[in-house]
Chain A
Amino acid sequence: MPAADTAEHLSSARLEVKRACDLLEAPNPASLEASSSALERAISGLNDCRRGIRPGVTNADVRARVRQLRAELRHAGRLLESAADFYRGWERILGAMSGGYTAGGEPAPVARTGKLYCQG
């Protein structure tokens, strides 16, 4: 694959990860769902791009774009992790509020029996 095509694939993958980052800034379930799709598209794009790379052959532009993609990935990972931390803490609070504490002093698991979640 020509270096220009590789660079374009990398840029597309980065744009998808950036889109996921934007969505993760307001991490409600719907935006998380949408960010999954963006990340899947990034994986697909990166896979296409890797097929065209010959090992050991380097190109300054391609190198720069891989680094940018990695920085964006770290950004997405950090946002996902902080959102997950937040919800984990919230789940503990919710568990304690709804079910009290276990014998070990941990908040009770959130009881979800009888709940049905539907999405149209």
Chain B
Amino acid sequence: MANILSSLISAAGALDAFTQALDVTQNNVANAQTPGYAKQTQLLTAMPFDPTNGSTGGVRAAEVVNSRDQYAEQAVRQQNVLLGQAQQNVTSFTSLQSLFDISGNSGIPYALNNLFTSFSAWGQTPTSTDARQDVIDSATDLANAFRQTATGMTQAAQNNRSQIDQTVVQINNLAGQLAAYNSQAMRDATPDAGLDAQINSTLEQLSQYVNFTASQQSDGSVTVLVNGQVPLVIGDKTYALQDEPVTPDPTAPNPGAPPTMSILASDGADITSQVTSGQLGALVNLANNVFPQYLGDGNNAGDLNTMAKQFADCVNQLLTQGNISDGPPPVAGVPLFTYDTTNATNVAQTLAVDPTVTADQLAAISTGPPEVSNGVPLALSALADPQSSDDEINGASFTEFYGNMAATIGNDLNGANNSLQVQQSALAQAQNLRQQVSGVSLDEEAAVLLQFQQAYEANSKLITILDQLSADTINMLAITS
């Protein structure tokens, strides 16, 4: 009778254990598509079996083991942060590139080309009022094109600052969610697979926005540090980030320049240099490096303003050095362009043709000696292909300088697109690796690693050979860019 009872007890225990195991499996299946969920495994433990002293043996359910691997999770987040950065760069550079038309059919290059054509036409008929009026109209178009481009870029820079605001808010919201999850994890004695999934899903969302490290604590909470250094979430506390526009120092060469952006930790410390990647990293880089290159900052006028000022100054100088008539007395010409002379970073946005200038005030006669009746328009049209360094910007003609600006943005966009494509693959790869790693035994891994090492070395050699072959091919084809 006792044996039958023992068997029944043992069988009942086993049934309980297998029921629990089945529950765990069912939960795994139900959560197969739940973001952040990791497979759980029900461990079983053998009970003591000794019929002589009444130990009935059998099996009991032990703890439920989470298959999550923090190293694999971190690898996915590392790729995700780079993907967020690449996506933001593609979006931002695409909108910037639309401001720099290189087809020559619109914008600054189109207007510049038309102005050079009108200078040339004026040179052929220096006394023609129509030719002079064409010059004024074309100059007005060029000034408009500069203003439109500068205004477009300024608007893009403002949008960029707004996006930084929004991204910081999103980061702080996610940090708040994590702090709430931490609070729950610290209260609950037993690990909760659902809570664990929520925490990891939130961490993955956060990794789109900013670079950080996350470490699991013994109390079940997750500590999040921006760039591994600046606290964002510790336990149930959030250390919110802030963003702040930084206006140039009043003693800087350009105190009226557009602001740059800084990111501050909750204690007010400037952590801008710690925000290196993710969507926020890309936006901060745009605000502090890309836009100032074109629109200027406290120390530099910016390429767009430099070009606008130098061109306007060249044209004004040639016109004012010339004469409208020989006289007597000779009548000097007047400057054509005006701009804000008090702020070097505001030239392109304020460039205009002086509305008081009329066609008969444009000087065509260069005083020489020798005096040339169409000397000024000839000198103006020669600006298209400058012979003197005074008519160049950093060794480039005005058209080339503009082309370089547009090419820089084009290259940045191209690089961002390539980076996005590669990063999408790299993230898929990291997700696959995470899938492979979770729940794999150490012995299996040791064998796989050995095989992987050999395959990695072989592939590296093949890539090197291919790279060399393609470089040789490029050299054979005399490809320069």
A: residues with CB less than 8 A from B are 13, 17, 20-21, 24-29, 32-33, 35-36, 39-40, 42-43, 46-47, 49-50, 53-59, 62-63, 66-67, 69-71, 73-80, 82-84, 86-87, 89-91, 93-94, 97-98, 110-112, 115, 117, 119
Q: How far is the CA of A80 from the CA of B458 in the complex (A)?
A: 11
User: Is B407 in the interface zone, CB < 8 Å from A?
Assistant: no
Q: Which of A43, A71, A83, A119: most chain B Cβ within 10 A?
A: A83
Q: How far is the CA of A50 from the CA of B429 in the complex (A)?
A: 32
Q: How far is the CA of A63 from the CA of B479 in the complex (A)?
A: 7
Q: How far is the CA of A76 from the CA of B429 in the complex (A)?
A: 12
Other than the given A33-B455, A49-B473, A73-B467, 20 more pairs (CB < 8 A) read A20-B459, A25-B425, A39-B466, A43-B465, A50-B473, A50-B476, A55-B478, A62-B477, A67-B479, A70-B470, A74-B418, A79-B426, A82-B426, A82-B430, A83-B429, A84-B456, A90-B71, A94-B446, A115-B450, A117-B450
Q: How far is the CA of A50 from the CA of B471 in the complex (A)?
A: 11
- CB distance B450 to A17 under 8 Å? no
With A27-B429, A75-B425, A78-B422 known as contacts, the answer to whether A87 contacts B456 (CB < 8 A) is yes
Q: CB-defined interface of B431-445 with A at 8 Å, one 1/0 digit per residue?
A: 011001100001101
User: Is B421 in the interface zone, CB < 8 Å from A?
Assistant: yes
User: Is B474 in the interface zone, CB < 8 Å from A?
Assistant: yes
Partner of B462 from A39, A57, A71 at Cβ < 8 Å: A39
For B445, list chain A residues within 8 Å (CB): 90, 94
Q: How far is the CA of A80 from the CA of B433 in the complex (A)?
A: 13
Query: What number of B residues sit within 8 Å (CB to CB) of A?
Result: 46
- CB distance A17 to B466 under 8 Å? yes
B: residues with CB less than 8 A from A are 71, 75, 79, 418, 421-422, 425-426, 428-430, 432-433, 436-437, 442-443, 445-453, 455-456, 458-460, 462-463, 465-467, 469-470, 472-479
- CB distance A26 to B449 under 8 Å? no
Q: How far is the CA of A75 from the CA of B463 in the complex (A)?
A: 11
Q: How far is the CA of A67 from the CA of B445 in the complex (A)?
A: 38
Partner of B442 from A49, A78, A98 at Cβ < 8 Å: A98
- CB distance B476 to A55 under 8 Å? yes
- CB distance B449 to A87 under 8 Å? yes
- CB distance B425 to A115 under 8 Å? no
- CB distance A86 to B449 under 8 Å? no
Q: How far is the CA of A38 from the CA of B463 in the complex (A)?
A: 11
- CB distance A36 to B477 under 8 Å? no
- CB distance B428 to A25 under 8 Å? yes
For B426, list chain A residues within 8 Å (CB): 78-79, 82
Shortest distance from the beta carbon of B76 to any chain A beta carbon, whole Å: 10
For B458, list chain A residues within 8 Å (CB): 36
Shortest distance from the beta carbon of B439 to any chain A beta carbon, whole Å: 14
Q: How far is the CA of A24 from the CA of B445 in the complex (A)?
A: 18
- CB distance B451 to A117 under 8 Å? yes
Q: How far is the CA of A54 from the CA of B447 in the complex (A)?
A: 48
- CB distance B456 to A83 under 8 Å? yes
For A24, list chain B residues within 8 Å (CB): 425, 429
For B465, list chain A residues within 8 Å (CB): 43
